């Protein structure tokens, strides 16, 4: 089976990191060795991209970060990760699992920040061209659950401190995109962890069998 690019999306504390590790375990049991799998995240995944991530997430910035600046920094980080890590890994036969990818920008900056969708589409084309994930798993939690989990977590970054309205707009955009794209799989992440794992395993194995 040809290697694939798999993305996990969702609001803060939806369980993306756990889901990424579950996917790796499932792939291992499916016969894909751990050394053939690369786990990464966005924004980040390279030294430069991680530095750019800090600009976006640091809640103690001395200067206000504009919406456009935030968007451009995220796409700069994505370009670094794509060209220096993701594409080379795929080219040499590795499976790539990413905690977030381009859909996050449409949801957070397009939905949450309410930036013009044409601008984000143009940036997407410039940075990604016709490069897309083979499949995306969207872990859905409601914004109120998101904020409850963030409150328990504490020490929140700049994005995590956003309002309920922001996360509602972000989630609504995710849900809208799911209806338009068959390669985005909806997972109800408000359920128990065991149930989420079962659903993730079911959808992933079914998808793998059809590749």
Per residue in 159-180, pLDDT (tens digit) is 999 999 999 999 999 999 999 9
Per residue in 101-117, pLDDT (tens digit) is 999 999 999 999 999 99
- Region 39-62: mean pLDDT is 92
Residue 15: its pLDDT value, please? 95
| Residue 77: band (very low, low, confident or very high) from pLDDT cuts 50, 70, 90 | very high
Q: How far apart, in Å, do the first and last CA atoms of the chain sit?
A: 7
Quickly list DSSP for 33-94: -GGGEEEEESS-SSHHHHHHHHHHH-TT-SSPPPHHHHHHHHHHHHHHHIIIIIHHHHHTT-
Residue 73 has pLDDT above 90, yes or no: yes
Provide the CA 92 distance to its chain's centre, in angstroms.
23
Residue 60 has pLDDT above 80, yes or no: no
Q: Cα separation of 111 and 143, whole Å?
A: 13
Q: Cα separation of 16 and 187, whole Å?
A: 11
Exposure class string for 6-45: b at 16+ Cβ within 10 A, else e:
bbbbbbbbbbbebbbebbbebbeeeebeeeebbbbbbbbb
What is the CATH class of 5-209? alpha beta
| Residue 39: band (very low, low, confident or very high) from pLDDT cuts 50, 70, 90 | very high
Q: Where are the domains of the chain?
A: 5-209
Residue 58: its pLDDT value, please? 87
Residue 110: its pLDDT value, please? 97
Q: Cα separation of 191 and 5, whole Å?
A: 26
| Residue 155: band (very low, low, confident or very high) from pLDDT cuts 50, 70, 90 | confident
């Amino acid at each position: 089976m040809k290697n694939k690019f798999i993305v996990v999306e969702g609001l803060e504390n939806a369980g993306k990191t756990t889901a990424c590790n579950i996917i790796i375990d499932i792939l291992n049991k499916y016969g894909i060795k751990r050394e053939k799998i690369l786990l990464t995240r966005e924004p980040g995944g390279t030294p430069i991209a991680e530095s750019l991530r800090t600009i976006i997430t640091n809640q103690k910035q001395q200067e206000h970060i504009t919406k456009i600046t935030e968007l451009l920094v995220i796409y700069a980080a994505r370009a670094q990760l794509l060209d220096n890590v993701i594409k080379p890994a795929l080219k040499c036969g590795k499976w790539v699992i990413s905690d977030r990818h381009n859909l996050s920008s449409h949801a957070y900056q397009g939905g949450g920040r309410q930036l013009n969708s044409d601008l984000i589409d143009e940036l997407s084309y410039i940075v990604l061209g016709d490069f897309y994930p083979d499949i995306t798993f969207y872990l859905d939690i409601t914004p109120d659950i998101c904020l409850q989990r963030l409150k328990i977590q504490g020490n929140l970054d700049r994005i995590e401190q956003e309002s309920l309205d922001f996360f509602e707009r972000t989630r609504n955009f995710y849900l809208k995109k799911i209806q338009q794209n068959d390669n985005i799989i909806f997972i109800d992440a408000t359920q128990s962890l065991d149930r989420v794992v079962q659903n993730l395993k079911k959808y992933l194995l079914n998808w793998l069998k059809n590749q």
